[in-house]
Amino acid sequence: MKLHDELVIKADALYKTYTLGKGIQVPALRGASLEVRRGEFISIIGPSGSGKTTLLNILGLLDVPDSGTLYIDGKPVVGLDDNALSSMRLLKIGFVFQYYNLVPILTAIENVELPMVLAGVRPKERRERAKNLLEMVGIPEMADHKPNEMSGGQQQRVAIARALANNPSIVLADEPTGNLDTVASEEIVNLMKKLNRENGTTFIVVTHDMEVAKKTDRILRIKDGKLYGVEEI
Ligand SMILES: Nc1ncnc2c1ncn2[C@@H]1O[C@H](COP(=O)(O)OP(=O)(O)OP(=O)(O)O)[C@@H](O)[C@H]1O
Ligand SMILES: [Mg+2]
């Protein structure tokens, strides 16, 4: 087996600079490198503006780096066209956001079904799977509720179920507890930990909260657009 086959993510020397209207250059990533093994639960901490969201967007194929290499499940992704990137994103990546980003007019179960609709899963099968996922995240009774009828913690559970819908290789979570109180935060990180342990799902969680980071297998720090192990700083 080649080395990168067992790695869900292998990123080398990623650079990304944003150009503002007046030609001002904002460097966001400056040689970020990262290797993530299947089944790992990793957290990334770092100050505001250090490039955390930029990194997740690139790892999640929502954005492309200016330079560097990126392999997802052993496949090189830099240089793929938009169609190839979208289908890879749909099938291999799950996203969880700080503000949940659920579709407000859809019920919980419909939100969970959405990525499966896009992936062409048949209605009966996707309804069944969405039901199971809501059970797995602990809120089967919320299936027919809309987001505004749920607490923040419940909405984030729905978002996690949605992220898992197409059984992705990796779930990327950007401040998933940033909008939750202490109790709900702990419940959400415990849930992610359970899903990681029981289903082997790989998680990368960006967080400001050391209580969240401490529960993960490995903490990385991002500083000036580069990643370090905590022990390296
Ligand atoms: N779309 C954009 N256009 C221009 N500059 C951007 C854009 N997105 C991010 N930046 C800049 O890139 C740098 C990294 O931003 P990024 O959002 O990745 O940081 P972050 O670590 O996620 O911060 P936070 O903790 O506040 O969410 C910052 O200097 C930011 O201002
Ligand atoms: Mg951010």
Three-class DSSP category at 107 = coil
In the reported structure, the alpha carbon of residue 125 is separated from the centroid of ligand 2 by a whole-number distance in angstroms of 35
Ligand nearest to the CA of 208: 1
In the reported structure, the alpha carbon of residue 24 is separated from the centroid of ligand 1 by a whole-number distance in angstroms of 14
As a whole number of angstroms, the distance between CA 68 and CA 38 comes to 22
Ligand nearest to the CA of 44: 1
Q: What angle do CA 32, 42, 17 make, to 5 degrees?
A: 25
Backbone dihedral angles phi then psi of residue 19, each to the nearest 5 degrees: -110, 120
- Which residues in the chain come in under a pLDDT of 70? 1-5, 231-233
Nearest CA residue ID for atom 6, ligand 1? 18
pLDDT at 1: 46
Do 58 and 81 contact (CB within 8 A), yes or no?
A: no
- 77: closest CA among 119, 91, 159, 29? 91
- 112: closest CA among 34, 52, 62, 167? 167
In the reported structure, the alpha carbon of residue 124 is separated from the centroid of ligand 1 by a whole-number distance in angstroms of 41
pLDDT at 232: 57
Ligand 1 neighbours, Cβ below 6 Å, are: 18, 20, 26, 28, 46, 48-54
Domains assigned to the chain: 37-66+79-232 (3.40.50.300)
Do 174 and 56 contact (CB within 8 A), yes or no?
A: yes
In one-letter notation, the amino acid at residue 61 is: L
Q: Terminus-to-terminus CA distance in the chain, angstroms?
A: 33
In the reported structure, the alpha carbon of residue 20 is separated from the centroid of ligand 2 by a whole-number distance in angstroms of 18
In the reported structure, the alpha carbon of residue 49 is separated from the centroid of ligand 2 by a whole-number distance in angstroms of 7
DSSP one-letter code for 146: -
Q: Give the mutation target among 44, 45, 50 for probing the ligand 1 site: most ligand atoms within 8 A of CB.
A: 50
